[in-house]
Amino acid sequence: MKDSKLGPEAYAASRLASRQAANELQDRFETEGKPFGWFEALYARADGERAAIPWADAAPRFKLEAWLAQSGLGAGRAVDVGCGLGDNARILSAQGWTVTAFDLSETAISWARKRMADQFPKASIEFHTADLFDLPSIWRGAFELVHETYNLQALPRDKVADAMRYISSLAAPGGTVVVITRARDRDEVPDGPPWPLSRDDLDGFREAGLEEIQFEEFFDQRDDPIRHFLAVYRRANTKRNYE
């Protein structure tokens, strides 16, 4: 397995165990009043083994790659929200974007930097440890493309609307925000983590001042495909106050 020291059977077992570990850590840190602390704990616990991170596939999301190919967007400044080990950031870089990638986990960022240097030395990415809920002011309104995959569905439900607002704040006037998430129906009760989002949930981006320009339902490429949404938004081409 790429980026893993394990054989196929051991990898599968470790990936299964990682999901249980993630759930247990999430519950523990939520109880301790630190709802985001489990991300760093999980990456640190993995000790460099990708199989121990349940969402780390050592490849960019296929839907992001396909969307980029047909989007018609010219390269500019892009930001990858909650970048993890950096695979989505590197496909943005490969498409010519000047990429800033950030994650709350310091361990994830150190790991991502090392992976890119060792395996993808041509990737041009600035990695930062940063908190979505406390973004550097210089990033607000700074990016022509904002990419978000799988972070919203990992957050406590009462944090999602604020997270959408902060993600939206990264988009420059005229900028594009692309979102990929697991999907659920409006009346379906999510059982997570992860907590899939409904179409109504995603309206938080419009409430944050963005215009929806594309919406698509799709299934991923697993043996047991999982329903997803891809939603694309645009910031009006006017300056605004992001404070």
Nearest to 104 by CA among 8, 13, 39: 39
104, 122 Cβ separation under 8 angstroms: no
- What pLDDT is attached to residue 2? 55
Q: What percent of the chain has pLDDT over 90?
A: 76
Nearest to 111 by CA among 35, 232, 3: 3
Name the residue ranges covered by the structural domains of the chain. 8-52, 62-235
- State pTM to two decimals: 0.92
At residue 181, the 3 state secondary structure works out as strand
Any idea which fold 62-235 has?
A: Rossmann fold (3.40.50)
Take residue 170 and report the two structure tokens written for it: 């990264």
- What pLDDT is attached to residue 3? 66
The 10s digit of each residue's pLDDT in 181-209 is 999 999 998 777 899 999 999 999 999 99
Report, as an integer, the average pLDDT of 131-135. 97
Band (pLDDT 50/70/90 cuts) for residue 239 is low
Take residue 92 and report the two structure tokens written for it: 């943005």
The 10s digit of each residue's pLDDT in 49-66 is 999 998 888 788 999 999
Distance (Å, rounded) from C-alpha 192 to C-alpha 181? 13
The 10s digit of each residue's pLDDT in 93-114 is 999 999 999 999 999 999 999 9
CB atoms within 10 A of CB 115: 19
Band (pLDDT 50/70/90 cuts) for residue 145 is very high
167, 159 Cβ separation under 8 angstroms: no
Alpha carbon dihedral 22, 130, 196, 215, in 10-degree steps, equals -150
Band (pLDDT 50/70/90 cuts) for residue 13 is confident
In 139-226, which residue ranges form alpha helices assigned H by DSSP?
160-169, 199-207
